[in-house]
């Protein structure tokens, strides 16, 4: 996989201010405000920064948290995780494997079959409907 590396100035010119704050500066959108938490169309959720296919509608579920939630990524290699010790908590951060965009966090209280919950910011995603 070819890594996508750009400067903050380049990302800033390509993203909205909220997309930049979330995806490049590890921000978190407020719950129930994002464009995809209550979005149910069939298709692919791509990285807002580099377009990599990260999640699919097939694995999306309604977690009640106000953020788009998935029980698995579109492909395991398309996301990577890191330990996040900010805010005096230990959480698992989810990032785009191709451009290191911050996507959200991973929890182990999701539904079957994986019991995983990828809690992802809408601002880090761009939806493409299924043809
Ligand atoms: Zn990306």
From the list 18, 110, 128, 129, the residue with the least C-alpha distance to 64 is: 110
Distance 93 CA to ligand 1 centre (A): 14
> Can you give the pLDDT at residue 131?
78
**Confidence at 2, pLDDT banded by 50, 70, 90:** confident
Q: Which two tokens stand for residue 118?
A: 């990828």
Whole-structure pTM value: 0.95
**% residues pLDDT > 70 (the chain):** 99
pLDDT digits (tens, 9 = 90+) for 16-28: 999 999 999 999 9
Distance 107 CA to ligand 1 centre (A): 21
Distance 6 CA to ligand 1 centre (A): 11
* 102/116 Cα distance (integer angstroms): 18
50 a catalytic residue: no
Burial pattern 40-76, b for ≥16 Cβ within 10 A else e, equals: eeeebbbbbbbebebbbbebbeebeebbbbbbbbbee
Distance 23 CA to ligand 1 centre (A): 9
> Can you give the pLDDT at residue 110?
98
Residue in the structure block whose two tokens are 């761009």: 126
Residue 1 has pLDDT above 80, yes or no: no
Q: Which one of 47, 50, 99, 119 is the catalytic residue?
A: 119
């Amino acid at each position: 996989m070819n890594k996508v590396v750009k400067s903050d100035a380049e990302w800033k010119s390509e993203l909205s201010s909220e997309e930049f704050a979330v995806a490049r500066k590890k921000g978190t959108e407020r719950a129930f405000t994002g464009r995809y938490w209550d979005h149910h169309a069939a298709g692919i959720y791509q990285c807002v920064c580099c377009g990599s296919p990260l999640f699919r509608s097939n694995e999306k579920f309604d977690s009640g948290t106000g953020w788009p939630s998935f029980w698995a990524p579109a492909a395991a290699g398309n996301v990577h995780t890191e330990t996040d010790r900010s805010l005096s908590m230990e959480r698992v951060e989810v990032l785009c494997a191709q451009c290191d965009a911050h996507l959200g966090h991973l929890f182990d209280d999701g539904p079957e079959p994986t019991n995983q919950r990828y809690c992802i910011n809408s601002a880090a995603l761009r939806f493409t409907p299924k043809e």
